[in-house]
Each structure stands twice: as C-alpha cells, then as structure tokens.
Structure 1
Amino acid sequence: MKKKMAFATCVQLGLSCIQEIYKIGGNLDLLITLEDDKAKNKSGRIYLDNIATEHSVPLLKIDNINNQEVLNTLKEHQIDWLFIIGWSQIAKKEVLETPTFGCIGMHPTLLPVGRGRAAIPWAIIKGLKETGVTMFKLDEGVDTGDIIGQGVISLDQNITATDLYQKVDEMHITLIVKYWDDIVTNNITLLKQNEADATEWPGRKPEDGEILNTMTMDEADKLVRAVKHPYPGAFYKDGDKTFRVWSAKTNKDDGVIQLRDGYLIPIDYEIEG
C-alpha cells in the first residue's frame, strides 16, 4: 500500500527537497510551514504557498511543530512518514510518534559529529577537511536518531558559507533521491550513532561575527568565509564605524585591520554607521 508522506519546512533546503520529490515522480499528502509572519529574518526563509497550489497539496501554517493542530492534521491525513527539514523547533515525543513510522530529519554534518546548531559556519571555522549531510530518523534528542544515510562534502581552504550552503542544498537533494523509494516501501536500514564519537556545536549569533585584533590571520580569514551570505557577515568596529566584511585577504606586512600576526584587507565590504 502506498505510504502517505508529509513535509515540514520553512527554508530553501526543505523547498529544494520538496521540488525534487515531485521531479522524481514522488508525492506528498501534506505540507507544513510556519505562519507567514514568523522567522522572517531566518537564513534561507521561504514560503510554500506556490508549490502547495501547484500540486494541490493541503498546506498547514503553524506557530509550533508541537501544536495540537499538527497532531490532529497528521492523524486526519493518516500520515506514515513526516519529513522535518530546516526547522529549528525540536519535535516532541507526541509528534514523533503520530506518523505511522515516525519522522525523518537531515542535519548538515556527518553525525554524530557536529550535533546542534550553525553547522555550516562551524565546519569552516574549525577548518574541517570534510563535512556532509546526514538523513536520520528523528528521536527525542538533538540530532541523535538512527542514521538512514549520509553524503560527504569535501572542503578546501577557500570555501565560503555561500559555497557550502549550496553544496549542502545539493546533498539534501541527492539523499532524497537516493532513499525516497526505500522510505516509501519501508525498506530502510537504520544505523545507530556511535556515542563515543559524538560532538555538539553551539548556536551562533550575529555578534559572534566580530573580527578582533587578537585573532590570527587564519582565524579572521575563516570567520569571514564562515559567516558570508546567507549568514549576517563578519564585521570590524573602528570607532563609530562598522565595516561589514564579505570577503577579504590576509597579509603579513601591511593591511587595513591589524591582527595578532598580520593584517586583514577587506575586498568586498560595506561601511555602516
């Protein structure tokens, strides 16, 4: 019997997956997103009205994934699997258990490494050689569920958040295509995460993008690349002026912003204030 599928998202990564599901001949029975006035400034924020209309899918707009109306709607549509992708609220036990088989998420690291927030900036700041995307069955923990599949993304020393966001977006699509048939036919193999390898990365705020004189050239370079669009950008305060730096180069001997072991030279920047 054909499985009934639902998808909850409010960001581009999720919309890309939904578009790909239809492209490969898949079908969704319910779409869930945030109310229009919620999370307007969230990185990659999108709206699902057009795609819902195009494919005649019911669209539920909510304040919180754990609301009673979500549970009621999942039951009403007899949903078997619910994808929750690009969603910052943690789904509680009741939501996870309402679809017949559960809920599926994706996280832009190679779990169990990098559970938590700000996975794209942290991968660059930490100077990782590779990261990736993990598709997994959601449980009550944060990014702790059993793994369905993973895709590896190689990083070089020039990669920016813009580049990596695009690669992560493409890997979400790759994993959807690879595992869609297995999910709808209930043919997935779940792999437990190895807790011994688990790490957790904290959330980041716009003010964490400040370039400080105590930083090394390497640290400043990584920071600039890590918080480029769709993130708020790195910045440097000089008196009452703020330089918003989107790209920069480093120099040992001379430059604009003095660092611990050299200088940073902004290339693409704006002056605020």
Structure 2
Amino acid sequence: MKIVYIGSVIFSAKALDKLISIGAEIVGVITKKESNFNNDFFDLKPIAEINKISFHYTLDINSEETVNWIKNLAPNVIFCFGWSNLIKSNVLEIAPLGVIGYHPTLLPNNKGRHPLIWAKILGLEKSGSTFFFMDEGADTGDILSQKEFEILFEDDATSLYAKLIDIALGQIEDFHSKLKDNTFIRIKQTESEGNSWRKRTAKDGIIDFRLATKTICNLVRGLTKPYIGAHLEYKNKNITVWEVEISEDIGERDNLEPGKVLNIKDNKIKVKTGDSAIWLVKHEFIDLPEVGSYIL
C-alpha cells in the first residue's frame, strides 16, 4: 500500500517515524521549509532524506505543481497529519482510499482550531485522538479510528502532547494494517452533532487575576510549550508565564484585590487571584515586581 505523507509539526514527525518503523511503504513526503504560525513546526525533509524517500516542499497543498507531484507517485492512500490548510477535491480524489486526517478531539465534538489548547483552557476532563477520512469540510469526514483519553488538572500542553502521541502511534499501527487488508470500518459523523472551536487570538492568552486560580492554571498550562505561552501585562509590556502553581495558603484575606503581589521567593511570584492566590513559577520577568505592587 503506497502512501504519500503530508505534515509539518512535531506530531507529524513522530507519526512518520512510526510508519517507517513498521515497514509502511512511504513513497513521498510533503512538508514545509518554515512556518510563521505553528509553534510546534517540524520540517520533515531530514527524515525523508535519511530514509531515502522523495520529498516535496510546498506552501499550497492544492497547487497544480503539488497535485501533479502526488499523482506521479500513484499512492493508494494519503496520510495528512499536521497541516493547517484545508485540502480541496483535487487532492482528496487522487488516492483510491482517499486522505486520512487527524484531529485530537472526540469528533464530532470540538471540530476546528487549537483543539489541545482549548480542551485544557476550558478545563475539559477528557478528549480524544481521532483519525478520519478527510472531505472538503473541516474535521467532518467519516471516522477511521478514535480513542478517548483523560485530561488531569495537573496536565499541561507538554504532557498532553506526549499523551496524544503515545495513543495515536498505537492507532496508526492498527489502522495501517486494516487499510492494507481492507478490513477497516468507516463511522459516519452526524452533520448536526458537535461544535466547532474558533481560532484563538492573543487576547485569549492574557492572564486576568480576577479569575479563579484553577481557571488561570488551566490557561497557563494549556498555552505552555510547545505553544506560545500565556502572558500578563505589566508596565505596558507583555510578560510570558510558562508555569504556575496553586498557593498552599488558600485562605487569603478577602480584602485584598486581585493582581496584588503577596510574596516573592526564589524568583517565584505569589499573586492574589479572584478566589485565592497563585505562584508564577516560570516566567519572563527581567525586573521582578515589588511585594505590595500590582500586576494588572
């Protein structure tokens, strides 16, 4: 079963390595030289070169040049794991088995943008790893494989990304053999079910200390590496915060305003929140604020 592989993020690299390790017949790799918006960007060219696989750089997956390159390889199926642009019919119709895509939610719920980030920011307790047959919609095609996973409060983007990779690689090995043997099952998504998440904006990453401590924790943990990081505004500058902890001293006096700096210890900053207090553990403050001052 000849596979053309499309991807441009860390997950793409891990999945490609997995396919190569199980002996999948990868006849071509499509990737990008660079990305201005994927914080987890990964150029797949080195993996293709090491494994003597033809590769093609493109910014437009639907361009005539790219379509012809894929057609010349005559793939049985196309895998697209980690590509930010919608694929049109001129690509979707090339391979007899179609194009297999990936979305880290429990489709048909939570289609759309930034699925791992939104799941954590919103405080969801579970999500999923879903491979599906792509159509011209956004995450709307028939489901090929789906696994549920738990989101712990302590999880952050780094641990969730690792959790997803571990689950997805097992799914890939399973459905690869089923696609080869024609024993796979397609589960149709109900068009009227589910929702779609919007694109995240810079404003969605602002830490508002008027919010509850757990809400702030979820925000910071959802945006930490490999993503862009949450931030606060201090003296007209954006300061990135990578890691936070709930203060052990929950019983703060109720006459202290949110945003007040309560303590500084070993470069950690304790700040009053809407319902208690939080420690800013890893941050990009150059000059630390003073105790008693305010971060607004």
Q: Which residue is 1:228 aligned to? A: 224
SS in 1 for 2:160: helix
AA in 2 matched with 1:7: Y
Q: Report the Cα distance in structure 2 between the residues aligned to 1:135 and 1:197, rounded to whole angstroms.
A: 18
Deviation track 1:19-54 (CA, whole Å, cap 9, x = no partner) reads 1111112120111112x1x31552221122222122
Cα deviation, residue 175, structure 1: 1.2
8 Å contact from structure 2 (residues 123, 215) kept in 1 = no
Q: Report the Cα distance in structure 1 between the residues aligned to 2:218 and 2:98, rounded to whole angstroms.
A: 38
Deviation track 1:77-122 (CA, whole Å, cap 9, x = no partner) reads 1111111111000001111111222100010011011100111111
8 Å contact from structure 1 (residues 243, 272) kept in 2 = no
Q: TM-score, normalised by structure 2?
A: 0.86
8 Å contact from structure 1 (residues 241, 272) kept in 2 = no
Q: Report the Cα distance in structure 2 between the residues aligned to 1:155 and 1:78, rounded to whole angstroms.
A: 40
Q: Which residue is 2:243 aligned to? A: 247
Q: Report the Cα distance in structure 2 between the residues aligned to 1:127 and 1:41, rounded to whole angstroms.
A: 24
AA in 1 matched with 2:125: K
8 Å contact from structure 1 (residues 206, 232) kept in 2 = no
Q: Report the Cα distance in structure 1 between the residues aligned to 2:233 and 2:246, rounded to whole angstroms.
A: 18
Q: Which residue is 1:261 aligned to? A: 275
Change (3 A) 1:54 1:81: same
Cα deviation, residue 218, structure 1: 2.1
Q: Which moves more between the two structures, 75-84 or 139-148?
A: 75-84
Cα deviation, residue 126, structure 1: 1.8
Change (3 A) 1:207 1:272: farther
Identity %: 29
8 Å contact from structure 1 (residues 133, 172) kept in 2 = yes
Q: Report the Cα distance in structure 2 between the residues aligned to 1:46 and 1:162, rounded to whole angstroms.
A: 16
Change (3 A) 1:61 1:68: same
Q: Report the Cα distance in structure 2 between the residues aligned to 1:107 and 1:176, rounded to whole angstroms.
A: 13
Q: Which residue is 1:25 aligned to? A: 23
For residues 8-47 of structure 1, the aligned pairs below 5 Å read: 8-34=6-32, 36=33, 38-40=34-36, 42-47=38-43
SS in 1 for 2:17: helix
AA in 1 matched with 2:118: W
SS in 2 for 1:166: helix
Cα deviation, residue 240, structure 1: 3.4
Specify the structure having the higher radius of gyration (Cα): 2
Residue 8 (structure 2) pairs with residue 5 (structure 1): no
AA in 2 matched with 1:164: L
Q: Which moves more between the two structures, 233-242 or 84-93?
A: 233-242
For residues 61-140 of structure 1, the aligned pairs below 5 Å read: 61-140=57-136
Deviation track 1:163-190 (CA, whole Å, cap 9, x = no partner) reads 0011112222111111111112332110
SS in 2 for 1:50: helix
Change (3 A) 1:258 1:188: same
Provide the aligned C-alpha RMSD in A. Answer: 1.7
SS in 2 for 1:82: strand
Pairing partner for 2:182 from 173, 182, 186: 186
AA in 2 matched with 1:146: D
State the number of aligned residues.
269
Cα deviation, residue 201, structure 1: 1.0
4+ residue runs over 6 A deviation: none
Q: Report the Cα distance in structure 2 between the residues aligned to 1:257 and 1:118, rounded to whole angstroms.
A: 28
Q: Which moves more between the two structures, 51-60 or 39-48?
A: 39-48
Q: Report the Cα distance in structure 2 between the residues aligned to 1:242 and 1:87, rounded to whole angstroms.
A: 29
Q: Report the Cα distance in structure 1 between the residues aligned to 2:86 and 2:52, rounded to whole angstroms.
A: 28
Q: Report the Cα distance in structure 1 between the residues aligned to 2:238 and 2:126, rounded to whole angstroms.
A: 33
8 Å contact from structure 1 (residues 106, 172) kept in 2 = no
